[in-house]
Amino acid sequence: MILKICGITNQEDATAAVAGGANAIGFNFFLRSPRYITPQRAAAIQSPPGVRRVGVFVNEAPAHIAQIAGLACLDTAQLHGAEDRDGYPESLPVWQAVRVGAGFDLAGFDDCPAEALLLDGPAGQLLGGAGEPFDWKLAAGAARPIIVAGGLDASNVARAIALAHPWGVDACSRLESAPGKKDHAKMIGFLRAAREAFGQ
């Protein structure tokens, strides 16, 4: 089970996320994101053993991803661009982000070599996440690990889990007081609701 808080930009939010039950925290290395963080700043944010450190990337070369992963002590690369298996870094697991829109077919990703598919809502021309939910029933019955993202908060995460039966959930924008700054009450409420829905 993955409980991920993404868009971490400071130690206070990381500490609160882990204290609330998050077992994965995400750092956004997409330069055009309002939650962008440098590898050096991400490296300075501490997290305890057992908490996955996930880097969000968009159309970066594998060697550059591996370099940032080393600098920021990442455990996983979350790829939001047009990467294929040749664009995966060899040094760490990959979560491949996929936009769920009209005509989405989960079976089309059966041969994807990623550790997990991160299913995200529609975003138009935006990259790296837009905070919009999708039809969670489309994620049900997957033969591989699925992480549900996009527009999740305490009010809807239990329904998302009930319909999608995912390996994990990932939230960001609806848990913020401003881009890159978490509202701790919303974050803790989301994590509590997710844990309860997963039966933890």
Give the Å distances, CA to CA, from 50 to 3, 113, 128, 148.
Answer: 12, 23, 25, 21
Give the Å distances, CA to CA, from 55 to 5, 58, 76, 130.
Answer: 12, 10, 6, 17
- The answer to whether position 102 is within a domain reads yes
Cβ burial, residue 46 (10 Å; 0-12/13-18/19+): exposed
- The answer to whether position 177 is within a domain reads no
What is the structure's pLDDT at 159?
97
Q: Whole domain around residue 35: which residue ranges?
A: 2-166
Q: d(Cα 136, Cα 161) in Å, to the nearest integer?
A: 8
Q: What is the pLDDT of residues 28-80, one digit of tens each?
A: 999 999 999 999 999 999 999 999 999 999 999 999 999 999 999 999 999 99
Element (DSSP H or E) covering residue 40: helix 39-44
What is the structure's pLDDT at 127?
52
The amino acid at residue 72 is A
Q: What is the pLDDT of residues 82-109, one digit of tens each?
A: 887 788 998 899 999 998 987 788 888 8
User: In terms of Cα–Cα distance, which of 193, 148, 192 is closest to 166?
Assistant: 148
Q: d(Cα 43, Cα 41) in Å, to the nearest integer?
A: 5
- The answer to whether position 190 is within a domain reads no
- The answer to whether position 76 is within a domain reads yes
Q: What is the pLDDT of residues 175-199, one digit of tens each?
A: 999 999 999 999 999 999 999 999 9
- Which residue in the list 6, 153, 170, 172 is annotated as catalytic? 6
- The answer to whether position 198 is within a domain reads no
What is the domain-level CATH number for residue 41? 3.20.20.70
Neighbours of 94 (CB within 10 A): 24
Q: What is the pLDDT of residues 105-158, one digit of tens each?
A: 888 888 889 999 999 987 544 454 556 789 999 888 888 899 999 999 999 999
- The answer to whether position 197 is within a domain reads no
Overall pTM surpassing 0.85 (yes/no): yes
Q: d(Cα 99, Cα 126) in Å, to the nearest integer?
A: 11
- The answer to whether position 38 is within a domain reads yes
- Which residue in the list 13, 120, 153, 170 is annotated as catalytic? 120
Contacts 24+ apart (CB under 8 A), 8-14: 8/37, 8/42, 8/45, 8/182, 9/35, 9/37, 9/41, 9/180, 9/181, 10/45, 10/180, 10/181, 11/44, 11/45, 11/46, 13/181, 13/182, 13/184, 13/187, 14/45, 14/46, 14/47
What is the structure's pLDDT at 143?
83
Q: Considering its fold, how many domains does the chain have in total? A: 1
What is the structure's pLDDT at 132?
76
Catalytic (active site) residue 183:
no
- The answer to whether position 195 is within a domain reads no
Catalytic (active site) residue 6:
yes
User: In terms of Cα–Cα distance, which of 139, 94, 14, 186 is closest to 4?
Assistant: 14
